[in-house]
Amino acid sequence: MLAYERTEYHHRHRIYVRGQVTHRTIRQPLHSYLHILELMAGQPNPEFLRRAIYLATQNVLTGAGGPFAALIVRDGSIVAEAANTVTTTNDPTAHGEVNAIRAACMALGTFTLAGCDLYTSCQPCPMCLAAAYWARIEAVYYGASAADAARAGFDDASLYQEFRKDSVDRKIPATQLLCDEAWASFAAWSASVNKIDY
């Protein structure tokens, strides 16, 4: 860093002021500019969310699926992006966030997305939020809310309400059976020397 302390760096900044975008050229030492980039790391970038919203809208206009899309971002770059493909793949789990997580894991060759952020056009449903947790996503940024999705006819808000209930009061009953026998799988996992923790 010391080698650059006297080097001036010109950068054309995009500055957001109440929805308006303006540009200006800033002359500053390179080490100062790099410090600003470090401070900005981890901060949400509205442009990524706009991209997700655009993809969600295009998904509807092209008849490819529902009005949802998501991006996985790491270090300021898009790793993967995907839209909802529930109706085109006959897969009820093919939500935009899940598709983006799958694509990002394939692109990076890993099952963990630690250090990545999720930008999604709508607040994730419980399934997608759980997927983000399993993937070790650092942060989630979303546009529309679960209430907005409900107004458009999607069940996101009702699912959140459902999971707040005791299991016996939910619409889909869940009953535990063969718990002793089922433990055999976990016993095998615990004893395995070849397992990969996740």
- For residues 94 and 83, the answer to whether their CB atoms sit within 8 Å is no
| 38 is annotated as an active-site residue | no
User: Which is catalytic among the residues 97, 138, 162, 181?
Assistant: 97
C-alpha to C-alpha distances, 170 to 126, 160, 165, 173, 187, nearest whole angstrom: 15, 11, 6, 6, 30
Give the pairing type, strands 116-122 and 69-74.
antiparallel
The residue whose two tokens read 């998501």 is 70
Q: Please, are residues 6 and 32 in contact by the beta-carbon 8 Å criterion? A: no
Look at strands 116-122 and 139-144 and give their pairing.
parallel
**Euclidean distance between CA atoms 148 and 145, whole angstroms:** 5
The three-state secondary structure class of 176 is: coil
Task: Please identify every residue annotated as catalytic.
Answer: 97
